[in-house]
Structure 1
Amino acid sequence: MPLVRDRETKEAQALRGGTRSESLPVAFVVACVVVAALNLRPALTSTATMMTEIQAGLDLSRAWIGVLTTMPVLCFGAFGPLAPFLSATLGLERAIAALLLGLAAGLALRALPVSFALFGGTLIAGAAIGMAGVLLPVVIRRRFPAQLGPMTGFYTMVLSVGGASAAGLTPVLEEAWHSWPLALASWSILAFAGGVMWTALASVEPVSFSTARLPRFSLLMRDRLAWSVTAFMGLQAGLAFIVLGWLPTLLRDRGLDVLDAGVVTSVSILSQTATALLVPSLATRRVSPRLLILLVLVATCAGFLGLLYAPLTTRIPWALVLGLGQGGLFGLALLFVSLRSPTAEVTAMLSGMSQSIGYLGASLCPFAVGVLRSSDDPFRGPAVMVVVITAGCIWSGLRAAAPAYVLPHLKQR
């Protein structure tokens, strides 16, 4: 299978050492990563906060609302495996630039208040995010190998900020403009800015990746550790997408208005930034990754159940607990992709496998919540799902934390 591979040039070696030519400051590379990360969640969280308005405005059934929440996650899994091919064809930087511009187009399409534009734009956005999410960890692995833990944490933190911003600001924009389609489409501006920045980065970069023949992907599929990393990625993503897709709606089922539900969701997502930055760094130092897995998963499950059943007066503390758990959880999932990979090539392979297969499984979670929420008790089904997923995530996470490599015979000496 063709995949991306570093050219053994002075430029590539300089990148791996964390230095750049005078014409391209490291700060600009970091800024490009920041803007790209900011764009990976608004397509989901902006829709979640507007779900009631979308359903009323387009007269959608609960089944179609379930499809809408499931579609982006399904796209992550379906299109993620194509990312290495796109990178091999265009080069890594050009591929990410093209994906961000495609994301901008998909989000802009949602400005039209019709069903085909909403679903079509969501499909395009989900495909672009799915492929960009596979490639950005490769960027971090290549450019910042000596700061893998801190940079993974920083990337995860920024990603959380993007999701929280969309959850909190979209209701404000809708109220100001009296138009949920325009509020959803407004996030295309940020994606377009990211596309322009990565285009500028690509224009001054040599083509740093080329097509190369790697060991068969079937070898990775037979690796038990690779499957543990994939299961952990998928199960934590299932928890994340339940929160991103349904938490505002579940809070409104409890009696909160749209602004209050958006604020609670924003607080939860924004609080992820602390543990997203801290936990990956701790995991690469002296703190046991297994202990961190247990702590963040207990916090995630407890925070979600607290928001469903505890008194609404305590909703902010429970939102903080949920966010602190999920921030560290996603940071660990991304970190394991890099730590368990012996080479940059395997990082891309494992990133593609874990995010494609993992997200395909995770896509069932928001859809299942949409089905279970139609019962007499709208909270019991989601609560049981989160508890079961948490148990599976603990099992796979403890295995993924094992200090070993996937395809260890490829480790560079």
Structure 2
Amino acid sequence: MENIRTSSTHAVWLMVSIVLVALNLRPSMAAVGPLLSAIRGEVPLSFSMASLLTMLPVMAMGLAMFLGMRVALRIGEHRTVVLSLLIIAIATASRLYLDSAAGLIASAVVAGIGIALIQAVMPALIKSRFAGNVSLFMGLYVTSIMGGAAIAASFSPLVLAQTGSWRTGLAIWALLAVAALGCWYAQRRAVTPLPETPARPQASFFTSGRAWLLALFFGMGTASYTCVLAWLAPYYLEKGWSEQQAGLLLGFLTAMEVLSGLVTPAIANRSQDKRLVLAALLALIMAGFCGMILSPERLSLLWPCLLGLGIGGLFPMSLIVSLDHLESPRRAGALTAFVQGIGYLIAGLSPLIAGMIRDQSGSFEWAWWSLTAVTTLMLLMVLRFNPKQYARRIG
């Protein structure tokens, strides 16, 4: 009985540690948008150049994702997360002393590498340790990622208002990484190595049509997330909102993402077939973009609410559908690493494209229309995610 209680206690604290770690995976990007006006006041940045603060770390996440599982195999999952948190903390703290666009971008890229290493190993670890409730715990993990974005978007402008320094508003999130590092290191005995399985090499996913479909679906969905993260606050700043108001609006949207990220996987966990849930989430995203374009000032809270509910549920569901394709935790983890790697490379281009559209057209509205069209295409892709065909589509 005592062993069961001890095991249960370890599982609880491991999940708490995973939540704390996940909170660190977006503040380095989410804090930039609400502070962009203040940053551009001191650092010469066009909207296209500013988009690199979101685009390049996402691209770095995509590239580093392919290394994540290899690093974990070499040094172990626990040490991989420790290393990653150290990278994130150092990159974030360095912003306190940066005064150039190149320095800001470099810090974002380094943080992106640290983020990628964590995101590569976490799905496999969760599938291994919480096999009976993968959807629920993946939902909690991904929701915590979005929660970190909500906290950073909401409080960074407050830090700016209190200190008068956008550098402090960006760098303060290194403290969150230090807190997560302490808690995660204390759980080193609870994180056991993943079981070895006689699986085919990870490279085989490059020849799998289903793996590419999953990666494309994840990338297109994450494009909406990264564009909204980068440009929602600047969009409303152009509408006459203050930095604090725009930051709180982005915080509200990400709070809706958190809510949906918790509730949606719990609903989806009742059925192996996730297609209806995915279609409903995509419909919410389309409605949110259309409303934000056609009537941004009226019902100004409704459109971010719809976007947040749609994007927040879609993010974990995209990874859950990938995990559902394979039984082996390590093999499924390799698939999600591939899906995220390719997906983030796709999504990383979206803030740059949106920034270029803004520079050329003088408005973000055409970028929102483009994302609406992408979401429509994703609705057609959902039809192919029949769980009865998973074993045949990918082995």
TM-score band by shorter chain is over 0.9
Once the two structures are superposed, the pairs formed by residues 196-207 of structure 1 within 5 Å of their partners are 196-202=182-188, 204-205=189-190
Q: State the identity as a percent.
A: 26
**TM-superposed deviation, 1:210:** 7.8
**TM-superposed deviation, 1:400:** 3.4
Quote the residue 2:221 is aligned against: 236
TM-score (norm 1): 0.89
Once the two structures are superposed, the pairs formed by residues 264-283 of structure 1 within 5 Å of their partners are 264-283=249-268
Quote the residue 1:108 is aligned against: 93
Q: Is the 8 A contact 1:223 1:406 kept in 2?
A: no
Moved over 6 A (4+): 210-213
Quote the residue 1:368 is aligned against: 353
**TM-superposed deviation, 1:20:** 7.8
User: Are 1:389 and 2:364 matched, yes or no?
Assistant: no
User: Number of matched residues?
Assistant: 392
Quote the residue 1:296 is aligned against: 281
The one-letter code of the counterpart of 1:48 is G
C-alpha distance after superposition, 1:257-314 (max 9, x if no partner): 1111111111111011222112222223148521111111111121123223314141
User: Are 1:67 and 2:65 matched, yes or no?
Assistant: no
Distance in 1 of aligned mates of 2:374 and 2:270: 28
- Deviates most, 302-311 or 100-109: 302-311
Structure 2: gaps (5+ residues): none
Distance in 2 of aligned mates of 1:290 and 1:45: 30
Quote the residue 1:147 is aligned against: 133
Quote the residue 1:81 is aligned against: 66
Distance in 2 of aligned mates of 1:261 and 1:398: 36
The one-letter code of the counterpart of 1:167 is A
Aligned CA distance change for structure 1 residues 166 and 89 (closer, same or farther; 3 Å): same
Aligned CA distance change for structure 1 residues 209 and 374 (closer, same or farther; 3 Å): same
Distance in 2 of aligned mates of 1:163 and 1:394: 26
Distance in 1 of aligned mates of 2:159 and 2:203: 48
User: Are 1:135 and 2:116 matched, yes or no?
Assistant: no
The one-letter code of the counterpart of 1:195 is L
**TM-superposed deviation, 1:25:** 2.4
Q: Is the 8 A contact 1:100 1:128 kept in 2?
A: yes
Quote the residue 2:313 is aligned against: 328
**TM-superposed deviation, 1:373:** 0.4
User: Are 1:55 and 2:40 matched, yes or no?
Assistant: yes
**TM-superposed deviation, 1:347:** 1.3
Aligned CA distance change for structure 1 residues 213 and 86 (closer, same or farther; 3 Å): farther
Q: Is the 8 A contact 1:33 1:155 kept in 2?
A: yes
The one-letter code of the counterpart of 1:137 is P
Task: Tell me how large the CA RMSD over aligned residues is.
Answer: 2.2
**TM-superposed deviation, 1:26:** 2.0
The one-letter code of the counterpart of 2:174 is S
Quote the residue 2:269 is aligned against: 284
Distance in 2 of aligned mates of 1:268 and 1:251: 13
Quote the residue 1:117 is aligned against: 103
The one-letter code of the counterpart of 1:82 is L
The one-letter code of the counterpart of 2:117 is M
TM-score (norm 2): 0.93
Once the two structures are superposed, the pairs formed by residues 118-197 of structure 1 within 5 Å of their partners are 118-197=104-183
Distance in 2 of aligned mates of 1:381 and 1:291: 29
Distance in 2 of aligned mates of 1:406 and 1:217: 17
**TM-superposed deviation, 1:206:** 7.0
Aligned CA distance change for structure 1 residues 205 and 158 (closer, same or farther; 3 Å): closer
The one-letter code of the counterpart of 2:103 is A
**TM-superposed deviation, 1:389:** 1.5
